[in-house]
A and B are shown apart, each in its own frame.
Chain A
Amino acid sequence: MKPSVPAAPALDALPAVRPDRVPLMLLPVLVLAALPLTGSLSTWVTLTFAGLAMGMIIFIIASGLTLVFGLMDVLNFGHGVFITLGAFLATAVLGRMTGWTESESLTRNLAAVLPAMLAAVVVAGLVGLAFERLIIRPVYGQPLKQIMITMGGMIVGVELIKVVWGPQAIPLPLPAAFRGSFLFGEAAVEKYRLIAVVVGLAVFGAMSWVLGRTKVGLLIRAGVQDREMVESLGYRIGRLFVGVFVAGSALAGLGGVMWGLYQQSVTPEMGGQINVLLFIVIIIGGMGSVGGCFIGALLVGLISNYAGFLAPKVALFSNILLMVAVLLWRPQGLYSVVKR
C-alpha cells in the first residue's frame, strides 16, 4: 500500500522550484558563437566534435576527483597516476592482441578494446583501494600533509610504472575499425571522437542514474552536504568514501585508456600533465559537483579546440583564462555545493 502522497501540489508558501540552468546554457551559447568565428560549417563540426570528445574524456577522469573532494574534503594530487596506469595497461593488453586490433572487423576490435578497458578499470580500482589505505587515510583531515603525501604517492607510482614499462613513450595505435572519419557532407568527424563522445555520455548517464535514483547515490549527495548528519542517521560514511574513491580511480583508469588512444601514445608523465587540467575543470564546475564537472570539462574541451584553431597562441592559456572568467562570475564555480 502506498501513502497518498501528492506529487507536487501548487503551493502558496514556497517559491517556485527553479533549477539553476544558466551554466548549462553556456554550452550551446559557446558552440553557436563559434560557428561564425570558425567561418565554415565543416570546420565547425569537426572542431565541435573534437572538443566534445576531449571534454568527455576529461569528464570521465575528473568526475571521481570532484566527488571524493565533495564527500571528504580530500583532494588527490596524485589522481593522475591512475590515468597513466590505465593507459599503460591498455598498451599491455592491446599489444598482445595485435591480431585482433589490426583486423578490419569491428567486433574483433571491440573484443580487444573492451578487455583493455576492463583491465584498466579493475587494476586502477584495486590500486585506488591500496592508495586510499596507505596514502590518504593516515593523513585524513590534515590538508597540508594530504597535498604533500598524495603528490609523493604519484611520484612513487610513476616511478613504479617506469620500473614495469620503462621510461619511454609507448605507441598505442587505434584499432583498425576505429581509424578514419565519418563524412557528414563536407565535415569530417573522426570515428574515435564519436566513440569517445558516446562512452562519455554513457558514463555520465550511468553516474547520473546512480546518484539520482539509488540509495547509495542519495547517501553520496547527502554526504557531500553534511557528512556528520549522514553518520548520525546510521550510515558509515567511511565505507561510502572508500567506495567512491575506488570508483573514481577506476574511472580515471578508463579515462587513461581513452586518452591514450586519443593521443595514440602513452608516456609515464601523461597523468601529471593532465592534473592541472583536471583541477581547472573541477574548480570551474564547483568543487564537489558532478554536473558542474561535466559542464566544466566540455567547456574546457570545446574552448581548447576552438582556440587552437582560431588563435593557437591563446589556446595555451585558454583554460586558465576560462577559469579566471568563471571565478569572476561565480567565485564558487558554476555549481557551488552547499556545505556545512
Chain B
Amino acid sequence: MILHRLFSGDFPRSRVLLVMLLAIVAGLVLTPFIFPGAKALNVAAKACIFIVLVASFDLLLGYTGIVSFAHTMFFGIGAYGVAIALSHFGPTWAGVAAGVAAALAVSLVLSLVIGLFSLRVKALFYAMITLAVATAFQTLASQLSELTGGEDGLTFKVPELLSPGFSLSEHPFLGVSLDGRLISFYLLIAATVVLFLLMLRIVNSPFGRVLQAIRENEFRAEALGYRTVVYRTLSNVLSAAFATLAGALLALWLRYNGPDTSLSFEIMIDILLMVVIGGMGTLYGSVLGATLFILVQNYLQDLMKFASEGLGKVPLLRDLVHPDRWLLWLGILFVLSVYRFPTGIVGKLRTAARKS
C-alpha cells in the first residue's frame, strides 16, 4: 500500500527491469562502501544528478512530445543560482535557499515566456527557437563575467556540513571516513529520490494523463476541451523547475560552476541520448539511460583503450574503438533506438515481460 502510494502505482512492470533498477539503486547508495576512491563517488553523484535532469527532460520529450534544446539552460540557471548566491553571500544555508529560490523564479519566468510565445508553433520551429535561445543564453552567461565568472566560472565554498573538511566522527565507519563529502553524497541521494518520486507522481496524476493524451493526438485533446497550450506550457514550466533543481544539486556537489559544466550543448546532446536510450515516456528509462551513459562515459573508455591496443595493427578499426570515440557508439545506439525501439530499454523490457 505504502509502496503503491510512493510509486504512484507506476511500477517497473518487468522483473528484469526491477532487478536492474534495484541494482542501480543499491550500487549508487553503497558506492562509498564498495567502490573506494573519489572517482567512483563523483561518477555516482553525477549519475544521481543526471537521473533528475533526464527525468525532467523526459517530462517534456517523452510525456508531452516536445523537443526543446533549451533544457540545459534551466540546468545552468539552477547551477548559477547556487554558485552566484554562495560566492556573494558566503557559505550559508540561507545563501543556498536564496540561490535556489532566485534560480527557480528566473526559470519560471523564462519557461513561461518561451512556452507561451512558441508552443503554438510546429515542433520543428520550437526546436530551432529553443536552440537559438539556449545558444544566446550561453553567450550571455559567459559575457556577464562580473556575475558569472565568465568562461572561468565560479568556485565557491558550501555550508560547513557539506564541505570536505567537516568530520562527523574521528573514527571511520566500515573503513569510510564520515566527512562532509559523504554527507553531501547522501543528501544528494535523498534529494534524487524525493524529486524522482515527485515526478513519478506528476506523470501519473490526471494532469500527466492529459499531457500524454496531447502527445498522442493534440487535435482530439483539444476537441475534448483541454486547452493544449496551457497544458504544454505548464509541462514546460514544471520540467524547467526540476532541471533547475538538478542544476542546483550539481553546483552544490561540485562547489564550482561554469558554462561548460552546466550550459554546454554537449550536455544537451548527452541528455537527449540518455532519455532515448533509456526509454522515452517512462521515468524509469531516465534512471537506466543516465546511469548507463555516465558509466560508459567514464569507464567504457578504459575498456576501449584495451580493445584499441589489442587492434594496434589494424588502422581504421583501431581508430573506431579508440577510447575517445565512445560517443560514436552511443550515437549509433541512439539512432538505432529512435527508429528501432523508440521506447528504449525500458520499453523493450516491458514488452518482453508482457509476452512471457
Contacts and interface: CB of A to CB of B under 8 A. Distances in A.
Interface of A: 69, 73, 75, 77, 135, 138-139, 143-149, 151-153, 155-156, 159-160, 162-164, 167, 272, 275-276, 279-280, 283, 287, 313, 316-317, 320, 323
B124 interface: yes
What 3 pairs across the A-B complex have the smallest Cβ distances? Answer: A159-B328, A155-B331, A152-B335
B338 A159 contact: no
22 contacts: A135-B335, A145-B339, A145-B342, A148-B334, A149-B335, A152-B334, A155-B334, A159-B325, A159-B327, A163-B316, A163-B320, A163-B325, A167-B324, A276-B132, A276-B135, A287-B125, A313-B143, A316-B139, A317-B140, A320-B132, A320-B135, A323-B132
B50 to A, nearest CB: 18
B325 A162 contact: yes
Given A160-B328, A163-B319, A151 B269 contact: yes
B331 A148 contact: no
A222 to B, nearest CB: 22
Given A152-B334, A320-B132, A147 B123 contact: yes
A164 B324 CA distance: 13
B331 A156 contact: yes
Interface string B132-168: 1101100110010000000000000000000000000
B338 A75 contact: no
Given A148-B67, A152-B338, A156-B328, 10 more contacts: A138-B339, A148-B276, A149-B339, A160-B328, A162-B328, A167-B324, A276-B132, A276-B135, A317-B140, A323-B132
Nearest to A139: B339
B292 interface: no
Nearest to B275: A148
Interface string B181-223: 0000000000000000000000000000000000000000000
A35 B339 CA distance: 53
B145 to A, nearest CB: 11
B98 interface: no
Interface string B312-354: 0000100110101101100110110011001000000000000
B264 to A, nearest CB: 11
A147 B276 CA distance: 12
A275 B139 CA distance: 15
Given A138-B339, A144-B65, A159-B325, A272 B332 contact: no
A276 B129 CA distance: 9
Contacts of A159: 325, 327-328, 331
Contacts, number: 91
Given A163-B319, A317-B136, A317-B139, A145 B332 contact: no
Contacts of B269: 151, 155
A191 to B, nearest CB: 31
B316 A156 contact: no
Q: Which of B122, B136, B276 has the most CB of A within 10 A?
A: B136
A167 B325 CA distance: 10
B272 interface: yes
Given A155-B327, A276-B131, A148 B139 contact: no
A27 to B, nearest CB: 22
B127 interface: yes
Contacts of B256: none
Contacts of A153: 335
Contacts of B128: 75, 279, 283
A144 B140 CA distance: 29
A323 B125 CA distance: 13
A157 to B, nearest CB: 9
B127 A77 contact: yes
B67 A144 contact: yes
Interface size class, chain B: 35 or more
Interface in B51-70: 61, 65, 67
B265 A272 contact: yes
A323 B136 CA distance: 12
A147 B265 CA distance: 15
Contacts of B131: 275-276, 279
Interface string B269-289: 100110010000000000000
A121 B89 CA distance: 57
Contacts of A155: 269, 273, 327-328, 331, 334
B276 to A, nearest CB: 6
A144 B123 contact: yes
B327 A145 contact: no
B136 A152 contact: no
Contacts of A272: 265
Contacts of A316: 139, 143
Contacts of B334: 148, 152, 155
Contacts of A73: 124
B341 to A, nearest CB: 12
A163 B65 CA distance: 34
Nearest to A159: B328
A280 to B, nearest CB: 6
A125 to B, nearest CB: 21
Given A139-B339, A143-B122, A152 B139 contact: no
Nearest to B65: A144
Interface string B18-62: 000000000000000000000000000000000000000000010
A138 to B, nearest CB: 5
A75 B126 CA distance: 12
Contacts of B133: 320
Nearest to A157: B331
Q: Which of A163, A272, A287, A320 has the most CB of B within 10 A?
A: A163
A151 B276 CA distance: 12
A156 B123 contact: no
Nearest to A167: B324
A80 B332 CA distance: 18
A156 B124 CA distance: 21
